[in-house]
Amino acid sequence: MPRLIISNIDYIVTVDPSRRIIRDGALVIQDGRIAAVGKTADFPATRGDDVIDGRGKLALPGVFDTHVHNSQQLGRSCGDEAYSGPERLFRRLWPVEAHMDKGDALCAARLAQLEMIRAGTTCFADPGSYFSAETAQAVKESGMRGMIARTVFDMGQTTMGNLPKGFFEPTDEALVRADEIVAEYEGALDGRLKAWFSIRVPVAMSDELLRRLGRLAEKRAVGIIGHACENRDEIVASHLKYGMGDVTRLEKLGLLGPNMLLLHMGWVDAKELHMLQKRDVKISLAPSASMHQAMGNISHGKAPEMLELGLSLSVGSDSAMSSNYLDAIRQAFLIVGGLHEARLDPKVLRPETAVEMLTINGARCMQWDRDLGSLEVGKKADVTLLDIMRPEWQPIHNPIANLVYCAHGGCADTVIVDGAILMRGGKVLTLNENDLYEEAQDRATSLIRRTGLEQAVASIWPMH
């Protein structure tokens, strides 16, 4: 394969151990890995090289979005104005998933990954669905990097409500099917795909299921991804059923550990913070979902304390039915700005920390930091190039401040995964956008009709 050289880059944000920012820089990529990082003058192109002109661009390590439900993409806005967590889950989100077929799920995953590529995202973590194979197929086509997991529930009735028919299974059957996904997909697509075990919502999972899930993860040497402490409704439900919160319950069952990535985590108490620190649990925050769904995870959450305790924090967009968009760079602003407002402290979370959450911490949360998360020689060539010749970027005094406070995923110009170019000059090369949009609209219209949520998604203004 010819070398790929990106030269004349205005700013290379390496996120290496020294956190260097290189002006007029160059990246040399060969055989899917970073062969050199430095000044443009040190790496002249030769005949046969594929050269990208980086003028007017900022280069980042590939951006991580550590919480994305691919299967929910066709239900965009179906969670709007749901008055409570139970209404959102039991009357909106899960009924949509329950009425989907495999064709819907594949279309949804393609659309989700198209949105992420356009937002500069190279890698995602999916917390689970019943369509893991379809999500994996979309990864194969899109060229992204990601992690999938199969949903497992063995309780049809909870203190929050009843799950849709077909959404729960006998414990043994649920575990077998989840294990089959891990066995088939872990390390697939030349290492671009991971397969973990899922804790979708703890209150709908028995102690036996959770314990055995932990043992399977240990046996397979893979991680566990799960929602926990998502909102007050779920914490109340956990206390009513088990007499304790989610984190305490997972610790009691022996599941907490460095291979666990927990999502939302806004309703953690002080004792649980120390459990998380002791077990080196990883965290993904979803600020837009909290704001949109009134979860209270920013105003009530403990993100600054988690950072002080040395926990690895990343950011996630959640889904088109929760935050309504998949843009990790916008999430970075929301978590910084939200905490500044909640704590009345403009230095409680700095933009540099938010960039770490997008990159190296995202890699740590997904157990990929040996190969990803920074632009260093020998690491896999996952790169996000942002166009900074835009009014929201100019002028630039501090590129990190502009990246977090001013930019958004729509600034993405070029996206590279494993040295392969997925988007170049704003054009996605791996997915057919126009055909996908038409198919998605047709399928989504039919899906919402089958689900019976037409009124829930309609504007209160008349449409003629």
Mean pLDDT of all residues belonging to the chain: 95
- Mean pLDDT of all residues in 437-453: 95
Q: Residues 224-271: pLDDT tens digits?
A: 999 999 999 999 999 999 999 999 999 999 999 999 999 999 999 999
Q: Are residues 212 and 321 in the same domain?
A: yes
337, part of any domain: yes
Confidence of residue 132 (pLDDT cuts 50, 70, 90): very high
Q: Token pair 């299974």 is at which residue?
A: 169
Q: Token pair 């956990």 is at which residue?
A: 238
- For residue 377, what are its two tokens? 């020689």
Confidence of residue 122 (pLDDT cuts 50, 70, 90): very high
Q: Token pair 């996952």 is at which residue?
A: 382
Query: Is residue 168 a contact partner of residue 136, using CB atoms and an 8 Å limit?
Result: no
**What percentage of the chain reaches a pLDDT higher than 90?**
88
Q: Are residues 281 and 385 in the same domain?
A: no
Q: Are residues 84 and 141 in the same domain?
A: yes
Q: Are residues 213 and 158 in the same domain?
A: yes
What one-letter code names the amino acid at 263?
L
Range list of β-strands (E), 253-382: 260-264, 282-285, 313-315
370, part of any domain: no
Q: How many CB atoms lie within 10 A of CB 261?
A: 27
- Quote the pLDDT of residue 91: 85
- Quote the pLDDT of residue 162: 80
Confidence of residue 165 (pLDDT cuts 50, 70, 90): confident
Q: Are residues 226 and 267 in the same domain?
A: yes
Q: Token pair 């729960």 is at which residue?
A: 168
Q: Are residues 398 and 291 in the same domain?
A: no
- Quote the pLDDT of residue 360: 98
Asked if residue 448 has pLDDT above 80, the reply is: yes
Range list of β-strands (E), 121-192: 121-125, 145-150
Sign of CA dihedral 131, 424, 397, 61: positive
Q: 194 - beta bridge partners?
A: 147
447, part of any domain: no
Confidence of residue 37 (pLDDT cuts 50, 70, 90): very high
Confidence of residue 335 (pLDDT cuts 50, 70, 90): very high
Confidence of residue 408 (pLDDT cuts 50, 70, 90): very high
Q: Residues 202-214: pLDDT tens digits?
A: 988 999 999 999 9
Strand 50-53 and strand 4-13: pairing? parallel
- Please report, for the domain that includes residue 402, its CATH number: 2.30.40.10
44, part of any domain: yes
Q: Which of 394, 355, 375, 427 minimizes the C-alpha distance to 56?
A: 394
Q: Are residues 36 and 82 in the same domain?
A: no
Q: Are residues 273 and 191 in the same domain?
A: yes
Domain count, the chain: 2
- Please report, for the domain that includes residue 238, its CATH number: 3.20.20.140
How far apart (Å, rounded) are the C-alpha atoms in residues 63 and 383? 8
Give the distance between the most distant pair of CA atoms in the chain. Answer: 69
Q: Are residues 34 and 111 in the same domain?
A: no
Confidence of residue 95 (pLDDT cuts 50, 70, 90): confident
Residue ranges making up the domain that contains 102? 63-365
Q: Are residues 312 and 285 in the same domain?
A: yes
Q: 3-state class of 189 per DSSP?
A: coil
> Among the three residues 323, 344, 365, which one is the final residue of a domain in this structure?
365
Q: Are residues 118 and 245 in the same domain?
A: yes
- Mean pLDDT of all residues in 173-181: 97
How far apart (Å, rounded) are the C-alpha atoms in residues 130 and 133? 9
331, part of any domain: yes
451, part of any domain: no
Q: Residues 51-88: pLDDT tens digits?
A: 999 999 999 999 999 999 999 999 998 888 887 778 88
- Quote the pLDDT of residue 88: 82
> Among the three residues 365, 389, 419, which one is the final residue of a domain in this structure?
365
- Quote the pLDDT of residue 41: 96
Q: Residues 354-376: pLDDT tens digits?
A: 999 999 999 999 999 999 999 99
> Among the three residues 365, 392, 417, which one is the final residue of a domain in this structure?
365
Confidence of residue 155 (pLDDT cuts 50, 70, 90): confident
Q: Are residues 117 and 15 in the same domain?
A: no
Least confident of 78-82, 297-301, 311-315, 382-386: 78-82
Asked if residue 161 has pLDDT above 90, the reply is: no
Q: What residues contact residue 198 under an 8 Å CB cut-off, 6+ apart? A: 127, 128, 149, 150, 151, 152, 178, 224, 225, 226
371, part of any domain: no
How far apart (Å, rounded) are the C-alpha atoms in residues 357 and 373? 10
Q: 3-state class of 127 per DSSP?
A: coil
Asked if residue 1 has pLDDT above 90, the reply is: no
Asked if residue 124 has pLDDT above 80, the reply is: yes
Q: 3-state class of 356 per DSSP?
A: helix
- Quote the pLDDT of residue 367: 98
